[in-house]
Amino acid sequence: MNSELDLALERVIRAPRSAVWAAWIDPRQFEQWWIPAPMACRVDLWEPSMGGAFVTSVSEDGENFVPHMDACFLLVEHLERIVFTNALDSHWHPADPTPDRITAEITLVDHPEGTLYRAVVRHADPAARTHHEELGFFEGWGAATAQLAGKAEEAGAAHGAE
């Protein structure tokens, strides 16, 4: 990690990696946690494999959705790592260069209490990193990660009860 260009968030999620992975890969689960509440997320195009599309929309009222993310998956390693970018759109066209262009790497590692979840978000330059941090990276990604943890922990507890 380059502290001048990257932002990172790490959390232990008290659920098995399979539950955290499912919350990331299953578009219906993903919609439930990706955007901090009370905003709503809709998955418009979802191909979680190398080169696949990652397109979402958001809504404040749950009815009127606007585009949010038009990105692509760069790498998807089962139960271990997901890398995506919005520097390329879902059709591999270069996106307009703006400070909100990122490449994010999500890693899942076994932990004695469940899963160590880590998100590293990479930026093109220090100004873009600072801009993302000032926009509320830690608050927004932190809230979404808390929602992911809740979803995965609920699913992990339900699976453990079977």
pLDDT in tens, 28-63: 999 999 999 999 999 999 999 999 999 999 999 989
Compute the chain's Rg from CA coordinates: 15
User: Does 157 have pLDDT greater than 80?
Assistant: no
Q: What is the mean pLDDT of residues 98-118?
A: 95
For residues 72 and 132, what is the distance between their CA atoms, to the nearest angstrom?
Answer: 20
Q: What is the pLDDT of residue 71?
A: 96
pLDDT at 159 over 70: no
Range name among 31-40, 89-98, 111-120, 126-135 with the lowest pLDDT average: 89-98
Coarse DSSP helix, strand, coil percentages of the chain, rounded to the nearest 5 percent: 30, 35, 30
pTM: 0.92
Is 162's pLDDT higher than 60? no
**pLDDT at residue 160, rounded to an integer:** 59
